[in-house]
Amino acid sequence: MSLKQAVFFMSMFFWMAPAFVAAQEWERLGSREVNFGLDHDVISCAGEGAFTAIKLEVQGGNVEMYNIKLAFGDNQRFSPDTRIQFEEGSWSRTIDLPGIARSIRTVEFWYRSRLTNGRATVTLFGKRSNEIIVEPGWEKLGTRVVDFIGDKDAIFCEGEGRFTAIRLYVENGDLILFNIKITFGDGTSFSPGTRMEFQEGSRSRSVDLPGVARVIRKVELWYRSEPGKPKATVTLYGRAAVNAAIIEKRS
């Protein structure tokens, strides 16, 4: 390869790199094939994550979108009050979400297609944040960095708060969780018998605790992570009991 060719390819790489990096910031959350005969549709978002903004892409047709409504993980809603004119293959502007990074459950949109027949596909993308989403009523109980060398670890909890459910968040790495054992303040334990697979930045479903609200002493984890990859950090949250009538008496 000549020096002139090398300079050309290097210049092309650096010209394309910013666009490539920008593309990696956006994660596909779902898509919907819309029909010219309809004027309202919904994209349901799969998976978990915290997002600070969204974008929409339209393929296969022209669509005029005159209202958008987002439903977040905490059931709050947001309408950006925007009207977007899509040509086939075009993107919307970046729509920033209000407040802290949010999980997105659904995106509703009202539209009119300028096609006389056929369909267009609307795809939703979210800009992921590194923030952990903590919904109201959930308290942080402890954190543990897990190592691929071991397959068992524990998060020890302090305090005398009572909780009705737990949830786990995983950062900085991927993790497969085979079993969980929760030990309560009275010495009894509970294993929900569940298997969970975590991608970096994801969280588990809510795991309800049996009976009345409980003090949690520790949560043991049986897991597998991949050698050579960053160590994952597991954070435990508990849903605090708000009704004193269901709080167990101290032994």
As to burial, measured by CB atoms within 10 angstroms (0-12 exposed, 13-18 middle, 19+ buried), residue 154 is middle
Tens digits of residue pLDDT in 76-113:
899 987 888 887 778 888 898 887 677 888 999 988 87
Tens digits of residue pLDDT in 60-79:
878 888 889 999 877 889 99
Domain that holds residue 59: 26-128
Whether 20 is covered by a domain: the verdict is no
Looking at the structure, do residues 142 and 115 belong to the same domain, yes or no? no
Looking at the structure, do residues 205 and 150 belong to the same domain, yes or no? yes
Residue 139: which of 208, 236, 29, 230 has the closest Cα?
Answer: 236
Residue 108: which of 36, 28, 30, 41 has the closest Cα?
Answer: 41
**Domain total in the chain:** 2
Question: For residue 158, what is the domain's CATH number?
Answer: 2.60.120.260
The alpha helices in 49-136, defined as continuous H runs, are none
Over its length of 251 residues, how does the chain's per-residue pLDDT go in tens digits?
554 444 344 344 333 333 333 444 788 899 998 877 668 899 988 666 778 899 999 888 788 888 899 998 778 899 987 888 887 778 888 898 887 677 888 999 988 876 545 678 899 999 887 655 566 788 889 999 887 666 889 999 988 889 999 988 888 778 888 899 999 999 999 998 878 888 777 778 888 999 889 999 999 999 887 666 777 889 999 998 875 344 444 33
pTM for this entry: 0.50
Looking at the structure, do residues 148 and 182 belong to the same domain, yes or no? yes
Question: For residue 91, what is the domain's CATH number?
Answer: 2.60.120.1380
The terminus-to-terminus CA distance of the chain in angstroms comes to 79
The number of angstroms, rounded, from the C-alpha of 143 to the middle of its chain's C-alpha atoms is 19
Domain endpoint, select from 128, 161, 192: 128
| Amino acid in position 150 | G
Paired strand residues for 184: 216
d(C-alpha 112, C-alpha 77), whole Å: 23
φ, ψ of residue 14 to 5 degrees: the values are -70, -25
Looking at the structure, do residues 166 and 73 belong to the same domain, yes or no? no
Q: Judge whether 176 and 197 are in contact, CB under 8 Å.
A: yes
- The backbone region for 94, taken as left when phi is positive above 0, alpha when psi lies in -120 to 50, beta otherwise, is beta
Whether 184 is covered by a domain: the verdict is yes
d(C-alpha 196, C-alpha 175), whole Å: 8
Whether 19 is covered by a domain: the verdict is no
| Amino acid in position 136 | P
Which DSSP helix (H) or strand (E) runs through 64?
strand 63-72
